[in-house]
Amino acid sequence: MCSSIHKSVFHALYWRYIYARICHWIRSARTCTGLETGAEFACHQNLCSPGQPWHGPYAERVPLGVNQLHELAAFAENNAIDLTVVGPEAPLIEGIVDLFRRRGLPIFGPDKAGAALEGSKAFTKELLTNAGIPTAQHQTFNDYAKAKAYLEKHGAPIVVKADGNAAGKGAIVALDMNTAQEALQQMMVDRIFGAAGDIVVLEDYLEGDEIGATAICNGTSFLPLALSQDHKRALDNDKGLNTGGMGVFTPLPFVDAATSENIYQQVIAATLNAMQNAGINFTGVLYSNIMLTAKGPMIIEHNTRFGDPETQAFMLLMKEDILNVLEFANGRQIDPKNLWHPGSAVSLTLASGGYPGGYRSGIPITGVEEANKLDQVQVFHAGTAMKDDQLVTAGGRVLSVVAHGNSLHEAVDRVYEAARYISFDGIHYRKDIAHRGLEASKK
């Protein structure tokens, strides 16, 4: 049995896991009996904590929260779970992997020391700086008066980051002093993020193309996944507030092979080596936000778990079995040449009206089944619930529509065609996902 500690990305991971087994079952053309090859699909049980509406066809729900670490470990042990995959950053930062490993339980993800790459901006900045890995110039403060004085001297634009885990909301790109001063006040004085904002990192604002690099890691070895580009702003033309991601496309036609190799060697490999030198053997996912600047690729931040829209796009493009890919972190060898299908994949976030600000929940959703019937399209759930047998909204980012195409243009056309089938009051999505890639493809 496999289990996951829930994050919306796991609808995508589960879908890819089950899809591979259905295809394998069909190819084997066998009756599903005993331990024959085709039985793998029917005889595996999948469990997910705490559960969402999409789990019905895929997995049994487990009524445990992501912060119930000891209860989750006991459940995994009592139910002989073969592999637990952790989605959210919070349990990783709190040490769930250490707890599972002490009990001899298989789990995918970094230990507490490794998760500090995401859990502490100050730790990561110090690690990168000491190792000579390219990142923005910065200063770290635990005193509000000193931080304010530095801010006044530095000026805007500047980036204000809470050191600890702020659920993805602790990095403020301040293009003017009012925004910067307000962010610093809210973090260190008002303590809107609690202890996470008691230490802040003030860093230079970087200009360029922001992209994502994802790799499955095992110590200093890593399996690079495709580069991707997310669209963080809520509105078209990169306007509006920052969000958790409004859509992704992959691969990137504007990044050549030399730049890609540079990214993986100077960012991913260099970070893993720096961690090893610090006595930390990093395993799991390293998902890095990188700015392509005039001076070359520079790290914005590291994440130690899968990104939602990125992974959703990866799953429609992936040829290799996702379980094999995850097992790379445990020493399994994977041929990168057999990792992907040709073409491109695009994910599009369908959000509640008002997101990332206030929004209503419990609004009926229609059209998901119709969209899923389209060729090379899959709709993944993020913030949904069931109410009186009706699918309803239950979050800011509600659904992610993902499409695969032989070209980026074809994938974009498919994803927007599918989105037109889905409806709920206040639905909002960007109309320009992959604009940077489409522009590069024309050249």
Q: pLDDT tens across 157-212, in order? A: 999 999 999 877 889 999 999 999 999 999 999 999 999 999 999 999 999 999 99
| The one-letter amino acid at 218 | N
CATH of the domain at 22: 3.40.50.20
Q: Examine the domain organization and report whether 12 and 94 are in the same domain.
A: yes
pLDDT of res. 223: 97
Report which of residues 441 and 437 the model is more confident about: 437
What is the average per-residue pLDDT within 359-373?
A: 97
Domain contains 114: no
For residues 302 and 290, is the Cβ–Cβ distance under 8 A?
no
Domain contains 284: yes
Domain count, the chain: 3
Share of the chain above pLDDT 70, in %: 87
Q: 25 pLDDT band (50/70/90 cuts)? A: very low
The percent helix, strand, coil of the chain (3-state, each to 5) is 40, 25, 35
Domain contains 178: yes
Q: Examine the domain organization and report whether 167 and 277 are in the same domain.
A: no
pLDDT of res. 342: 96
Q: Examine the domain organization and report whether 283 and 408 are in the same domain.
A: yes
Domain contains 31: yes
What is the average per-residue pLDDT within 382-409?
A: 94
Q: Which of 179, 204, 229 is the last residue of a domain?
A: 204
Q: Which residue has the tokens 């002989």?
A: 80
For residues 47 and 62, is the Cβ–Cβ distance under 8 A?
yes
What is the average per-residue pLDDT within 107-123?
A: 96
CATH of the domain at 339: 3.30.470.20
Domain contains 127: no
pLDDT of res. 10: 57
Which range among 37-51, 266-280, 375-389 shows the weakest confidence by mean pLDDT?
37-51
- CB within 8 A of 159, min separation 6: which ones? 136, 171, 172, 173, 174, 202, 203, 204, 205
Q: Examine the domain organization and report whether 57 and 163 are in the same domain.
A: no
CATH of the domain at 192: 3.30.1490.20
Q: Examine the domain organization and report whether 224 and 167 are in the same domain.
A: no
Domain contains 237: yes
Domain membership of residue 25 as a residue range:
2-108
Q: Examine the domain organization and report whether 221 and 197 are in the same domain.
A: no
Q: 20 pLDDT band (50/70/90 cuts)? A: low
What is the average per-residue pLDDT within 219-234?
A: 96
Q: Examine the domain organization and report whether 81 and 147 are in the same domain.
A: no
Q: Examine the domain organization and report whether 293 and 376 are in the same domain.
A: yes
Residue 29 has pLDDT above 60, yes or no: no
Which range among 139-153, 277-291, 316-330 shows the weakest confidence by mean pLDDT?
316-330
pTM higher than the cut 0.85: yes
Share of the chain above pLDDT 90, in %: 75
Burial group, residue 443, by CB count within 10 angstroms (0-12, 13-18, 19+): exposed
Residue 109 has pLDDT above 70, yes or no: yes
Q: Examine the domain organization and report whether 172 and 221 are in the same domain.
A: no
As a whole number, the mean pLDDT across the chain is 88
Domain contains 116: no
Q: 267 pLDDT band (50/70/90 cuts)? A: very high
For residues 252 and 211, is the Cβ–Cβ distance under 8 A?
yes
Q: Examine the domain organization and report whether 277 and 391 are in the same domain.
A: yes
The rounded distance, in Å, linking the Cα atoms of 310 and 433 is 13
Residue 435 has pLDDT above 70, yes or no: yes
Q: Which of 183, 204, 225 is the last residue of a domain?
A: 204
pLDDT of res. 43: 33
Q: Examine the domain organization and report whether 194 and 235 are in the same domain.
A: no
Distances, alpha carbon 90 to alpha carbons 99, 146, 272, in Å: 14, 29, 21
Q: Which of 204, 227, 254 is the last residue of a domain?
A: 204
For residues 422 and 365, is the Cβ–Cβ distance under 8 A?
yes
Domain contains 124: no
Q: 48 pLDDT band (50/70/90 cuts)? A: low
Q: Examine the domain organization and report whether 349 and 404 are in the same domain.
A: yes
Any idea how long the chain is? 443
Q: 63 pLDDT band (50/70/90 cuts)? A: confident
For residues 164 and 184, is the Cβ–Cβ distance under 8 A?
no
Residue 154 has pLDDT above 60, yes or no: yes
pLDDT of res. 27: 37
